[in-house]
Structure 1
């Protein structure tokens, strides 16, 4: 099976294992495939076992998810691609998703829609199956079930599995390098919407995607878990975005409500507790004082 004309694919590596390489190799028949490798130790494509049709860019350092995506997209634009599918290294998209998502984007653009990005609903069995799409609401996110056949307007999509309209890339601008990792997708989607572009969820398509480490189960509820360093970026970038005028107050209110709850959860239930709490508080401090980039 071959991909849609004009489709390119960007996969971001960070210390990939054999399964990650196999996932990337499966993508070469679906479009121009670029792998950006943020692993600190640079290796060649042949050492990794990558298909020689893949454009491989070893950074030799962790430059963050935003920079890696920007690098990949610039290569796709140079190769005259019109759409870009983005994946994490552990994503294993179905052939249906790889072929249908760019076509859905094309259909919406032909209707005259100003669309920045379209993405599937993601499925994480550890967190209870198919996740709803999200719209911002006062003090609480509004969860939209992925039902029906028509694309659904949403406020943001996670990066992995999303399909970007590259004709809008220069107008919206690249992903924000200084955020490094967390909330990169949210900030870009909000910026796209502030410039009059739609962000669409495709309710008929699914991407199996593991969000974070082994989930935390507390009082019957399930929460994604991350490393202390990831919690640093989550808190720092959330604070940084709360300070920005173009970020809607509906999202800010939701985050401000979640802040104390998350701090209590990390302090009481995450191991090592001190490390998680320390990194979260450091993140808040750096967000308040304007520190960005890599920790």
Structure 2
């Protein structure tokens, strides 16, 4: 049975997107209603984005003319979806490679889950086709949850924004995304919040999207660690400070994330030292 695409809205937040990549994604999605929430500031870029998108009748663009942040932009898209009486919304980042078959399979999986408290289904993500997808568990120990045998879905603690399929009316009970968070932890905070309210979130190993996380990836003790740019890392720390100081109910997540950020900061310093030594050696 194929899931209906009626009353399904796809929301994509934009900020200086690659226009060719964006248009390639948009033109695939003719079976869906698509809302693009545009945080791009530059007037020339905005003009090009609107020119490329407005020719597709299935797509609506909302121009903010400034960078309102991810959470605010998502909420604008969600509110517009609710005005359109959407029953399901699927959130995507602008750098996720979209595949219509995968999206429809994701919808089918959502409809097949027999759990009255299930309100959202996260897609698994990979950086390349060779990567093994996983979801994160936050408890006394932080761990990666990999697929066990042929099991396609698993109840999870959180899912990343891109590929997150949500039963839209639930926002009237849970509230929207926390706009105090600019870009990081937006998805995690909402995921942990709905779980505390008694709702269930599942992860779908069967649907994998290729998605970029961080600017570079380094392998440390066999694990791939995303390294963000200096500006992005500064914003990440600001968002973490908000979570750590105001959301004490997420103690274990904050505890583990603090350790992760400390190790990542140390790794950045180490990388800079190695880079400096290489430059010094080449100049000798």
> In which range does the TM-score fall when normalised by the shorter chain?
0.7 to 0.9
Contact 1:124–1:131 (8 Å) recurs in 2: no
Q: Which aligned pairs between 1:1-295 and structure 2 lie closer than 5 A?
A: 4-17=5-18, 18-29=20-31, 31-41=32-42, 42-43=46-47, 46-50=50-54, 51-108=56-113, 111-125=114-128, 129-138=131-140, 140-147=141-148, 148-218=150-220, 221-245=223-247, 247-270=249-272
What is the CA–CA distance in structure 1 between the aligned matches of 2:115 and 2:258, rounded to whole Å? 37
What is the CA–CA distance in structure 2 between the aligned matches of 1:2 and 1:151, rounded to whole Å? 17
The TM-score, its normalising length taken from structure 1, stands at: 0.82
What is the CA–CA distance in structure 1 between the aligned matches of 2:211 and 2:158, rounded to whole Å? 16
Give, in angstroms, the shift of residue 74 of structure 1: 1.0
Partner of 2:281: none
Change (3 A) 1:20 1:197: same
What is the CA–CA distance in structure 2 between the aligned matches of 1:167 and 1:106, rounded to whole Å? 15
What is the CA–CA distance in structure 2 between the aligned matches of 1:106 and 1:218, rounded to whole Å? 39
Give, in angstroms, the shift of residue 133 of structure 1: 1.1
Gaps of 5+ in 1: 274-295
The TM-score, its normalising length taken from structure 2, stands at: 0.85
Residue deviations 1:202-224 (CA, integer Å, cap 9, x gap): 12211111212121345654311
Give, in angstroms, the shift of residue 3 of structure 1: 5.2
Secondary structure of 2:47's counterpart equals coil
Contact 2:121–2:202 (8 Å) recurs in 1: yes
What is the CA–CA distance in structure 1 between the aligned matches of 2:57 and 2:68, rounded to whole Å? 24
What is the CA–CA distance in structure 2 between the aligned matches of 1:222 and 1:53, rounded to whole Å? 38
Q: Which has the larger radius of gyration?
A: 2
Give, in angstroms, the shift of residue 179 of structure 1: 0.7
What is the CA–CA distance in structure 1 between the aligned matches of 2:88 and 2:26, rounded to whole Å? 18
Residue deviations 1:128-174 (CA, integer Å, cap 9, x gap): 60231111132x42211134345211110000011011121111111
The alignment yields a C-alpha RMSD, in angstroms, of 2.6
Residue deviations 1:2-31 (CA, integer Å, cap 9, x gap): 9523211001111122212221222232x2
What is the CA–CA distance in structure 2 between the aligned matches of 1:197 and 1:270, rounded to whole Å? 44
